[in-house]
A and B are shown apart, each in its own frame.
Chain A
Amino acid sequence: MKQNTLRIRSRSLPLSLRVKQRVLTVLLLLLLVTLIAMIASVAYGEYPIPPLAVIQTVLGLEENSDYTFVVNTLRLPRTLVASLVGLALAISGAIMQGITRNPLADPGIIGVNAGASLAAVSLIVLFPSVPVGFLPISAFGGALAVSLLIYFLAWEGGSSPLRLILIGVGIATVIGACTSVITTFGEINSVSQALVWLAGSVYGRSWEQVFAFLPWLIVFLPLALVKTRQLNALALGDEIATGLGCHIEWQRGWLLLISTALAGSAVATAGAIGFVGLMAPHMARQLVGATHGGLLPVAGVMGAMLVVVADLIGRTLFAPIEIPCGIVTAVIGAPYFVYLLVQQRGK
């Protein structure tokens, strides 16, 4: 089947880009859907605002001061955080599935989220006086430490994808035990607060979090996109990748670092939102195929849409009780996981 492709070539730079038309179409459509979801997310809530007014407020055309406060101070940053976190988690998951060659890998299952969670929960419960700004740094530190640990433990004359997953699950369990010790002995109110965070929530996120998170994306998203060729090679298997001239250990290490940075900073911003890193890449793969050049951006937008929608569901379904969006994604994600397992069997 012939695929229509667009070629973009620069005369001065050693750069060329080939984009499948299908990827472009899907990407644009998804972006549109995500944008609508984001507008809906800003519009609906305890104080509903007409969608048109939302757009006008964001563009600075609306005079109503109630609207401007609710939209600009409360809902817009929250929605932005949700979408950015979804983006990061999905791309992180796609990379992880590529390097482990396991379609069921996910930063949550593999223990990266657990590491970030442990670091953040200990900060919230044990050092309540530390300013909130340190939360992302410590969570990222936790994620990085855990993924390094898993990588080294899985190393035996080379890292094996299978060992990465199994050891990841084991380490995640231990870290979960450590987290539960902290939640057992901590002061009950701060534990309660930490739990919201453990479940993954974008509640009460402000511009501060958006700006703290953005640098991570600005650094690591382009890095991920640059590495897609190596990722494609790794996904074919170690031997073929070596044959293609790819230094597998070095590249796997790099990609793992990028994936960890994205997942870690996302968990740092919004807590452990599970299953997004699992679901989004699959949905993307069904839409545009398994080549990572197209897969990563599509998965990213898909992830953004998932988290925005999950947050919207979580806060409207049982209002006034607010369900953290991580729980909504888990409830959606688990059946999807089953579906994937069944589907995999046919292959």
Chain B
Amino acid sequence: MRAFLLCKKSGKARSPSTTVEDFAATVWIKPTKLLIEFGNKLRVVFDDAYPSGSLVRCDCNYFAAILQQNEGMTEVSNWKSRSPVLGLIASIGVLVICLFISIALGAADISLKTIYEAIAVFDGSTEHLIIRTVRIPRSLLAILVGAATAIAGAIMQGISHNPLADPEILGINAGAAIAVVVAIFIFGTSEPSFYVWCAFLGAGTSAVSVYLLGSLGRGGLTPLNLTIAGAAIAALLSALTTGILIISQRTLDEIRFWLAGSVAGRDYAIIAQVLPYIVIGLVLALALASQINILNLGEDVAKGLGQKTAWVKIAAAVAVLLLAGSAVAAAGPIGFVGLVVPHIVRLLIGVDYRWILPYSAVFGAILLLASDVVARLVIRPQELPVGIVTALVGAPFFVYLARMKVSK
């Protein structure tokens, strides 16, 4: 059964049990693609997974379970039933504008006309060379990394019920970082193709351990348990990383720019390295979207609806790994993009992950592109690592979330 049901919080909130009794014991709904509003209290959304005309029986226990899961879910009041396609197209438009700004602005400002000429009629001049070999790959990488990180964050938040989930906060970045540092220390290579695998390995290991650790605590995978487990793992890993960097100044010199998180000075080779993994991760994520919708209602409900939750979680974890792992491999640990973007997206378009994921990709790309432009303009001709800009943007947001969403 593929359905989800949302409790609307606007107006007077009612306790789930009374609402269900209002419903009568059994509800019969014709499940084509439809959206039904029950007064001001409930909405039922079915997708078209059923042949039209068949009947689905929803008994009241099922409603009660869903209602309980969704109690206090504030995003629901922002549910927009009109098609979000236009919004997506508009945001892609914004992304393209950001792309041009990102190519144009920097240590040397370049006009739009020159950008066009560099792409269309390349003449080998310095400016054209800058555009082709420096600015375009950098901007493309920012787009890729931003999109991947944001989707990874959205999935993490979706499956863990944790509004504070983010690759940086939950220690995944620290895992990737130590793996890369260890590899450089032992093998002395700074070959990007090598980075990628190490980053995956490290990110995977630390993600799994944080997840397991978080579920060991009292009350299971609560936001608090996950956050503390992430912080502890990150503390351990960064202590070890520091240890290696102390022993080997050569590693330190080689890796410290990467460690701060930056998309500067990357070439097409790195993009080509991570692109396949990001694409696979993206496809997997989008394929999982409706499963995440169901899982987002709570583990018990999802199981009640016949979902094999373990498999969905494993597939989602693989997607997160591919996306976050390639992002951190290509650009170093960049924090808070995965935290901020999904929340903004949810505010705009609601709780349907089939839309949240593509929106997150576009918004994440925009955020990272914009942060990168800021990073290279504030202390011109010097550059900040983009990771610091996203941290400064994201921190107030994190504080806001910790105050609003986890206060109970």
Residues on A facing B (Cβ under 8 Å) = 102, 104, 108-109, 153-154, 156, 160, 162-163, 165-167, 169-174, 176-178, 180-181, 183-185, 188, 191-192, 195-196, 198-200, 274-275, 321, 323-324, 326-327, 330-331, 333-334, 337-338, 341-342, 344-345, 347
Contact = CB atoms under 8 A, between A and B. Distances in A.
B256 A191 contact: yes
Given A177-B388, A180-B387, A195-B242, A334 B399 contact: no
30 contacts: A102-B224, A102-B228, A104-B217, A108-B235, A109-B231, A162-B406, A163-B403, A163-B406, A165-B228, A166-B223, A166-B402, A167-B398, A167-B403, A169-B230, A171-B395, A173-B391, A173-B398, A174-B395, A191-B256, A198-B242, A200-B239, A275-B236, A327-B239, A327-B243, A330-B236, A334-B232, A334-B236, A341-B229, A344-B218, A347-B218
A109 B260 contact: no
Interface in B212-268: 213, 216-218, 223-225, 227-233, 235-236, 238-240, 242-243, 245-247, 249, 252-253, 256-257, 259-261
B232 A337 contact: yes
Nearest to B229: A341
B46 to A, nearest CB: 37
Contact of A199 (B243, B384, B406): B243
B246 A174 contact: no
Given A167-B402, A344-B218, A192 B395 contact: no
B168 interface: yes
Contact of B228 (A109, A176, A185): A109
B178 to A, nearest CB: 12
B153 interface: no
Contacts of B335: 173, 177
B60 to A, nearest CB: 33
B252 A188 contact: yes
Given A192-B246, A199-B243, A331-B236, A166 B406 contact: yes
A165 B253 contact: no
A327 B242 contact: yes
B354 to A, nearest CB: 30
A202 to B, nearest CB: 14
Contact of B247 (A188, A274, A321): A321
Interface string B128-163: 000000000000000000000000000000000000
B388 A181 contact: yes
The SS class assigned to the A binding surface is helix
Contacts of A154: 403
B232 A173 contact: no
B169 interface: yes
Contacts of A324: 242-243, 246
B393 to A, nearest CB: 10
Contacts of B342: none
A199 B242 contact: yes
A338 B394 CA distance: 29
Contact of A345 (B216, B228, B235, B394): B216
Interface size class of B (residues with CB under 8 A): 35 or more
A345 B243 CA distance: 32
A184 B253 CA distance: 9
Contacts of B242: 195, 198-199, 324, 327
Interface of B: 164, 168-169, 213, 216-218, 223-225, 227-233, 235-236, 238-240, 242-243, 245-247, 249, 252-253, 256-257, 259-261, 335-336, 382, 384-385, 387-388, 391-392, 394-395, 398-399, 402-403, 406-407
A163 B407 contact: yes
A191 B246 contact: no
B403 A178 contact: no
A337 to B, nearest CB: 5
A338 B225 CA distance: 12
Among all A-B residue pairs, the 6 with the closest Cβ atoms: A330-B239, A177-B391, A170-B398, A166-B402, A334-B236, A174-B395
Given A180-B261, A321-B247, A323-B243, 6 more contacts: A108-B235, A180-B385, A184-B257, A195-B252, A199-B242, A275-B235
Nearest to A335: B236
A193 to B, nearest CB: 9
Contact of B213 (A153, A166, A195, A338): A338
Contacts of A321: 247
Most buried by A among B223, B242, B398: B242
A183 B256 contact: yes
A274 B240 CA distance: 12
Contacts of A333: 236
Given A178-B388, A327-B242, A153 B260 contact: no
B175 to A, nearest CB: 13
Nearest to B166: A173
Contacts of B240: 327, 330-331
A196 B247 CA distance: 9
Contacts of B164: 166, 170
B328 to A, nearest CB: 14
B317 to A, nearest CB: 20
A338 B242 CA distance: 22
Contacts of A184: 256-257, 259-260, 385
A208 to B, nearest CB: 23
Contact of A326 (B239, B384, B402): B239
A272 B392 CA distance: 23
A104 to B, nearest CB: 5
B197 to A, nearest CB: 23
B391 A165 contact: no
Given A327-B239, A334-B236, A341-B229, A156 B259 contact: no
Contacts of B407: 156, 160, 162-163
A73 B402 CA distance: 49
A341 B246 contact: no
Contacts of B249: 188, 192
A192 B259 CA distance: 14
Contacts of B259: 180, 183-184
Nearest to A180: B260
A333 B237 CA distance: 12
A108 B235 CA distance: 8
A334 B239 CA distance: 11
Contact of A334 (B233, B243, B395, B398): B233
Given A166-B227, A173-B168, A188-B249, A330 B235 contact: yes
Contacts of B243: 199, 323-324, 327
